[in-house]
């Protein structure tokens, strides 16, 4: 929307005008800031190129010297990271779909789905259209406070009469209603706009492990700003459904000039309770966002290796591999043992054969290591034969 169209929403009421104007201006600011940073500034493009060069150099160094447990299997994930970052910092349509709309529109749509039963045909008329219902509730509380103020008098204090106390309570309730609804939602919308306008800087910092913590902090802040409108709208719908009977009674009493301070005090107390609940929900949304962590494949791999059972140690004798010389010596010893066994078998057979063969051939002792090898004889030829 153009600035003139956003300015024209101011006359729609306090709550309606604030919500519409902030939402309109935030979307335009986020888009213009993104385009000015990524397309209109050469500094960012130069810095992005430098970060890409540093990242590729670091990956090559880690693979070359095996630093930090780097593996070749990590390269597809590194290529995906570079491609995702380039897609997000060079195209507003991609960034708008994956980042801005996810943070700005998705929480509101989720809240509308969850609160659908209260917004249906059989539910509250104020909760059916939350923005219009908030405006009607704010106007009714303001008008009721003014009516009680006229009855109590301008100089009356809250402790002087029930009417004065009701006037002060309903006036304070209208302010709490604005802060707990339009104030919280508008502040979160502004935070989303500023964070998305600066998004390309933090997305580029996700390349380097040393600066990845800044990217993680940006994601957490954006998630907290996105969760805040979701829980705020859920509570707003519930608050409108609860307050509708009380606001209807106050409107009827104001028309008939039969104001009851007790009714006004009860309605104001309900607004205060929902305001406190809104503060608790916003704090819970921020706590949930702070619990977000990026997955680390290297850390998971290290934890898996640490948790794996240690291999059983084999005996030292089974782990020793004999050398070539040792294998040759063992073969020779085995041959000698076999020769001695054959000789003993032959002697035993000759002794059993009888006295006629008492004289047996002497048993040769097994040759010792190295005695079985002899260099062949070589007779040198005479010089005369060569002639």
Q: How far apart are the first and last CA of the chain?
A: 118
259: Cβ–Cβ under 8 A, 6 or more apart, which residues? 144, 147, 148, 151, 163, 166, 253
* 363 has a pLDDT exceeding 60: no
Using only C-alpha atoms, the chain has a radius of gyration, in whole angstroms, of: 45
Q: Would the pLDDT of 274 be above 90?
A: yes
pLDDT of residue 225: 95
Pick 9 or 213 by higher pLDDT: 213
CA distance 171 to 267: 11
| Cβ contact 123:241 at 8 Å | yes
Most confidently predicted of 118-132, 150-164, 291-305: 118-132
Q: Which of 127, 306, 120, 373 is nearest to 234 (CA)?
A: 127
Q: What percent of the chain has pLDDT over 70?
A: 77
pLDDT band at 370 (very low <50, low <70, confident <90, very high): low
Q: Kindly report the pTM of this predicted structure.
A: 0.71
Minimal CA–CA distance to 180: which of 243, 265, 271, 114? 271
pLDDT for position 151? 79
CA distance 265 to 77: 61
Could you give the angle at the alpha carbon of 120 between the alpha carbons of 115 and 125, nearest 5°?
A: 95
Residue whose pair of structure tokens reads 């024209």 in the numeric block = 8
In this predicted structure, the answer to whether residue 381 has a pLDDT above a threshold of 60 is no
132: tokens are 């219009």
Instruction: Report, as an integer, the average pLDDT of 139-168.
Output: 80
Lowest mean pLDDT: which of 6-20, 193-207, 301-315?
A: 301-315
pLDDT confidence bin for 232, thresholds 50/70/90: very high
| Mean pLDDT for all residues in the chain | 81
Is the Cβ–Cβ distance between 187 and 175 less than 8 Å?
no
Residue 320 has pLDDT above 70, yes or no: no
At residue 336 the predicted structure's pLDDT band, cuts being 50, 70 and 90, is confident
Q: Are 26 and 18 in contact (CB under 8 A)?
A: no
Q: How far is it, in rounded angstroms, from Cα 269 to Cα 137?
A: 14
210-214: list long-range contacts, CB under 8 Å, 24+ apart: 212/294
More confident residue, 307 or 33: 33
Please give the Cα distance from 117 to 358 (Å, whole number): 118
What pLDDT is stored for residue 358 in this prediction?
Answer: 46
Other beta carbons within 10 Å of 263: 18
Given this model, what pLDDT does residue 317 score?
46
Q: Distance between CA 330 and CA 332 in Å, rounded?
A: 5
Angle between the N-to-C axes of helices 14-38 and 184-197, in degrees from 0 to 180, rounded to the nearest 10: 10
Whether residue 19 contacts residue 131, with contact meaning beta carbons closer than 8 Å, is answered with yes
Phi-psi region at 153: left, alpha or beta (left = phi > 0; alpha = psi -120 to 50): left
pLDDT level of residue 154 (50, 70, 90 thresholds): low
Note the pLDDT of residue 68: 62
Say what the pLDDT of residue 72 is: 72
CA–CA separation, 152 vs 164, rounded Å? 5
Q: Are 270 and 242 in contact (CB under 8 A)?
A: yes
Backbone angles phi, psi at 133, to 5 degrees: -65, -40
Residues in the chain: 387
């Amino acid at each position: 929307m153009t600035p003139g169209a956003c300015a024209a929403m101011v006359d729609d009421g306090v709550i309606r005008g604030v919500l519409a104007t902030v939402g309109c201006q935030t979307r335009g600011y986020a888009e213009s800031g993104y385009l000015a940073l990524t397309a209109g500034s050469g500094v960012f493009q130069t810095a992005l190129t430098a970060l890409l060069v540093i990242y590729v150099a670091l990956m090559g160094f880690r693979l070359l010297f095996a630093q930090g447990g780097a593996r070749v299997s990590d390269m597809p994930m590194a290529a995906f990271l570079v491609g995702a970052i380039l897609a997000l910092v060079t195209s507003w349509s991609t960034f708008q779909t994956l980042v801005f709309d996810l943070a700005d529109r998705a929480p509101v749509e989720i809240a509308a789905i969850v609160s659908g039963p209260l917004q249906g045909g059989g539910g509250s008329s104020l909760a059916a259209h939350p923005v219009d219902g908030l405006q009607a509730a704010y106007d009714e509380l303001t008008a009721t406070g003014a009516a009680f103020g006229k009855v109590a008098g301008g100089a009356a204090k809250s402790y002087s009469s029930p009417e004065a106390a009701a006037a002060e309570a309903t006036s304070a309730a209208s302010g709490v209603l604005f802060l707990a609804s339009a104030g919280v939602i508008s502040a979160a919308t502004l935070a989303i706009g500023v964070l998305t306008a600066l998004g390309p800087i933090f997305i580029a910092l996700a390349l380097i492990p040393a600066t990845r913590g800044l990217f993680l902090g940006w994601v957490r802040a954006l998630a907290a700003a996105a969760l805040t409108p979701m829980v705020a709208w859920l509570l707003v719908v519930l608050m409108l459904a609860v307050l509708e009977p009380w606001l209807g009674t106050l409107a009827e009493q104001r028309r008939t000039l039969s104001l009851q301070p007790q009714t006004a005090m009860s309605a104001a107390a309900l607004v205060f309770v929902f305001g406190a609940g809104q503060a608790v929900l916003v704090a819970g949304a921020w706590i949930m966002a702070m619990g977000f962590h990026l997955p680390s494949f290297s850390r998971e791999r290290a934890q898996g290796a640490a948790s794996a059972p240690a291999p059983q140690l084999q005996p030292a004798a089974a782990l020793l591999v004999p050398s070539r010389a040792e294998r040759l010596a063992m073969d020779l010893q085995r041959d000698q043992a076999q020769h001695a066994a054959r000789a003993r078998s032959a002697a035993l057979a000759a002794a059993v054969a009888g006295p006629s063969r008492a004289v047996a051939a002497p048993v040769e002792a097994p040759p010792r290591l190295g005695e079985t090898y002899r260099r062949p004889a070589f007779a040198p030829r005479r010089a005369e034969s060569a002639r």
